[in-house]
Amino acid sequence: IQLTQSPSFLSASVGDRVTITCRASQGIDSYLAWYQQKPGKAPKLLIYAASTLQSGVPSRFSGSGSGTEFTLTISSLQPEDFATYYCQQLNSYPQLTFGPGTKVDIK
């Protein structure tokens, strides 16, 4: 199963609403997770099961979707949110895949 993310790069300002889309090449129910990675750091889990917020993650992050199209939304971008975001499908073990990533940069 292949994942695509759009956009691949996004320039935004603090306070902006940001939406990132992840599309799967075939249906994956809700077996989708979102991660945030900052330079030099390990990825951090934000969302699992497409829309469940991981404990400790700010509520400005939300996820939606099922089947083949999913979105990650940041309702009001904060300075600490500038990072690269990856989606991951977990429907087809043992072939788990990540999306190519979306880099969110400061405008």
Answer yes or no whether residue 10 interacts with other proteins by CB under 8 A.
Answer: no
Answer yes or no whether residue 65 interacts with other proteins by CB under 8 A.
Answer: no
Q: How many CA atoms lie within 13 A of 44 on its CB side?
A: 18
Identity of the residue, 16 or 90, whose beta carbon is nearer to other proteins in the bound complex: 90
User: What is residue 3's three-state secondary structure?
Assistant: strand
User: What is residue 94's three-state secondary structure?
Assistant: coil
77 neighbors 15 (Cβ within 8 angstroms): yes
Instruction: Name which position in 7, 49, 76, 106 contacts other proteins (CB under 8 A).
Output: 49
Report CA 12 to chain centroid distance, whole Å: 16
**Contacts (CB under 8 A) with other proteins, residues 78-107:** 86, 88, 90-91, 93-101
Interacting residue ranges for other proteins, rule: CB under 8 A: 31, 33, 35, 37, 42-45, 48-49, 54, 86, 88, 90-91, 93-101
